[in-house]
Amino acid sequence: MLEKIMSPSDLAHLSQAELNELASEIRAFLIEKVSRTGGHLGPNLGVVELTIAMHRVFNSPSDVMLFDTGHQSYVHKILTGRASAFDQLRQKGGISGYPSRSESEHDVIENSHASGALSWAHGIATAFKIQKIKDRKVVALVGDGSLTGGMAWEALNNIAASKELPLVIIVNDNERSYSPTVGGIATYLSTLRTTSGYEKFLDWGKSVLERTPVVGQPIYETLHGVKKGIKDIVAPQGMFEDLGLKYIGPVDGHNIAAIEDSLRLAKAFGEPVLVHVLTEKGRGHAPALRDEAEKFHAVGIVDSETGEPLSQSAPSWTSIFSQELVAIGGEREDLVAITAAMLGPTGLDRFAAKFPERTFDVGIAEQHAAAAAAGMAYAGLHPVVAVYSTFLNRAFDQLLLDVALHKAGVTFVLDRAGITGDDGPSHNGIWDLALAGIVPTLRIAAPRDGERLRELLREAVTVDDRPTLLRFPKGAVNADIPAFERRDGIDVLYRGESADILFVSVGALAQIAVEAAAQAYREGVGVTVIDPRWVKPLPQSLVTMAGRYKSVVVLEDGIEHGGIASTISELFREHDLAIPVHSIGVPLEFFEHAKRAQILSEIGITVQSITRSLVGWSSTSSAAGIIEEATQLPQDGNANRSQPR
C-alpha cells in the first residue's frame, strides 16, 4: 500500500481495510528507517492513523496543516510524497526531521519549538477571514505536551474570542511530551480520558483524586468541583467550552473512521472547533512502550527489533553534569532542580530518583521555570534550571527581569549549546552567549572538559547573590585538558615560544585550539592558548596578558556578532588597548540539518582551517608591525624616515 502513496489524493479511494494496512506498513517503515538514521520515533508511531485521517478529510496544501512540536510530522512527510527520502532523514542534503518549506508546499512552520502553532493558526485563519477566503481551512495539530506551554493558552484565549474562523484544533493527547506530561492541564485531560459518566465517576473519583499530583489537585477541585459542581466535572467539554470553543471527543486516535467522522463535523462547523484525540506514543513498537519509553521520544541509531543502541557511547557532558549534581545535592539540602518536560534528556532523572521532593518538572513552560526559580531563590533555595540552550531563548525576559534584576541565586545549565546539527536551525544553541552576554549581574561559565564542568558547577551553585549560567555542547565529552598554569582565574593550556598570538578558547573547543596552536608553532608562529573559564564577566587580567601579544584570536561556538570576541574588543577599548581581535565563531545565519562535525567544518572550525588563519593573521600582524616601525619618527626628531613599499 505504501508504494502507491505519492500524494494525499492517493488516500481518497482506499477502503478502511486498506487504510489499516497502510497504517501498519507506515509503522514498520518508520521503525526500520528511523532506527538507521536516528530521529523522533515514539511521537510519530503514535500519530499514524490520525495523520492519515487528517489528509483524507482536509485538502493539503489548500487547507493549511500546522504541526506543533514539528517532530511529529514524519507521517505527514510520507503521505506527501517523501517516503523515498527517509534513508537520508536528518542527514546533510536529506530531508529534515521537521516540516521544511524547501521540501514541500505541504509544510508551513519550520520552527520546531512547542506551543506556537495555535498562534500561527489564529493568524492564518484571521488572514483568510479578512480576505474573504472561504474555501480554505486551517488545521493545527497540537499536543505531545505542548498544551502546558503558556503561549498555547494565550492563543486559545484569542481564538475563542474570534468567531467565524475556519479553524480546527486537534489535541493529540498521548499523556507524554518527553516525560509524562505534568500539571493541571494534564490532570484535566486525564480526567477526560477516564470518565464516561456520573455513576462511574463516583467509583473512580475517590482513588484517582487521592493520587492526583499536589499541584493539579487543588486546581482541579477548585475550578471544577466548587465552581461548576460534581456533575460538570464529568462533562468532557467543560474546560474548553468555558473558553468558548466547541469541543468534540475524546476520540480513539487509532480508529481512522472515528477520527474522520469527528474531523468532518469540525470542518463543517464554520467556527473554531477543538477535537480531542487519544493516542498511544510509540504504538506498534514494543521497546517504545516499555517503562523507559521516554528514550524513544528521539533515538540515535538503534537495533530496529530491540531498540538498543548499536554502539556504546562515550561519557557525555549530560551524564557528567547529572552525576555531579547528585553529589552536590547530597551535600546541600537547599539545592533544587527544575526542568521543562525534559527530565531524562537534561540529566535530571538521577537527581529526581535520589531527591524527588526537590525536583520539579514544570512541563513545556520555560518561562515559568525561570520565574519560579527566582521565587524559590528568594525563599532561600538554590535552584538549578536545566534546559537545552535553544529553549532558554523562550525565557529570556524572565532571565533578564525576574532572575537577573532581582539578583536571584539561580544556576542555569544549558545542554546542547553551540552547533547541535541533526535537528536543524531551530535546535542549534548558538545564541545563548550573545543573549546572556547583555544580562546584568549574570555570570557565565563555559567548561572545556568534564573536570572543569564539575569544578564550575560547584563554583556556580555557591553564588547566591546573582544568577550563574553554565553551557556545554551535545554529545561525548572531550578528554580532560589540564592547565599547566592558572593565572588570576585564567587557565593557560599551551604556550608558544614567541608572543605572536594570544588564543582565547571558549568552552569545549579547547582541544581544537590547542592542536591548532601546536600546528601553528611548527610553522613558526608562537601561540599561547588560554581558557578564561568564566567568560562573563571577563577577568580584568586579560587586558594585561593581551598587551604582551601582537594580536588576539577568540574561538567560540556561538554567533560571532555579540559573542565573546565582541566583549573582548569592548574590554580592550575601555582600557585603550589597541590590539587586533580576530573572531572564529558561528556566522550569523540559520544552518540546515547536518552532523555537527560537518557544520563546524563548513564554517571553518577545524584544526586545519584555524591553523591557516593563525598563520595568516600572524603574517599580517608582523607586516603591520614592520610598517609601523618603519614609519616612526626617530627620537631625535629627524624628519628623514623610510617609506613603506
| 156 three-class SS | helix
Q: What are the backbone dihedrals phi and psi of residue 504, each rounded to the nearest 5 degrees, phi first?
A: -95, 115
105 catalytically annotated: no
Helix (H, G, I), strand (E, B) or coil at 596: helix
Report d(CA 342, CA 364) in Å as an integer.
Answer: 8
Q: What is the Cα 248 distance to its own chain's centre?
A: 32
Q: Is 99 helix (H, G, I), strand (E, B) or coil?
A: coil
Q: Which of 49, 294, 366, 560 is catalytic?
A: 366
Helix (H) or strand (E) holding 278: strand 273-278
* β pairing state of 443-445 and 534-536: antiparallel
Q: 469 forms bridges with which residues in the sheet? A: 412, 444
* Residue 278 CB burial class (10 angstroms; 0-12, 13-18, ≥19): buried
CA 274/CA 290 separation, integer angstroms: 30
468 Cβ contact partners less than 8 Å away, ≥ 6 residues apart: 410, 411, 412, 442, 443, 444, 445, 459, 460, 461
Cα angle 613, 617, 622 (rounded to 5 degrees) comes to 150
> How is 231-294 classified by DSSP, letter by letter?
HHHT-TTHHHHHTT-EEEEEEETT-HHHHHHHHHHHHHHSS-EEEEEE--TTTT-GGGGSTTGG
Maximal CA-CA distance, the chain: 107
Q: Which listed residue (281, 358, 448, 474) is catalytic?
A: 281
281 catalytic? Reply is yes
Can you tell me the distance from the alpha carbon of 79 to that of 96, in angstroms, rounded to the nearest whole number? 15
Residue tagged active-site, from 56, 295, 358, 394: 394
Pairing state of beta strands 382-388 and 411-415? parallel
In contact, 317 and 450? CB cutoff 8 Å: yes
Count CB-CB contacts under 10 A for residue 89.
23
Residue 369: which of 415, 347, 337, 346 has the closest Cα? Answer: 337
- C-alpha to C-alpha distance for 463 and 445, rounded to whole angstroms: 13
11 burial type by CB count under 10 A (0-12 exposed, 13-18 middle, 19+ buried): buried
Tell me the helices (H) and strands (E) count for the chain, helix number first: 24, 18
Q: Is the dihedral of CA 309, 311, 314, 316 positive or negative?
A: negative
User: What does the block give as the cell for 331?
Assistant: 551535600
CA dist 257 and 264 (Å) reads 11
The number of beta carbons lying within 10 Å of the beta carbon of residue 260 is: 19
C-alpha cell at 642: 623610510
- Could you tell me which of 150, 151, 186 has the C-alpha nearest to residue 171? 186
List, by residue number, the catalytic residues.
281, 366, 394
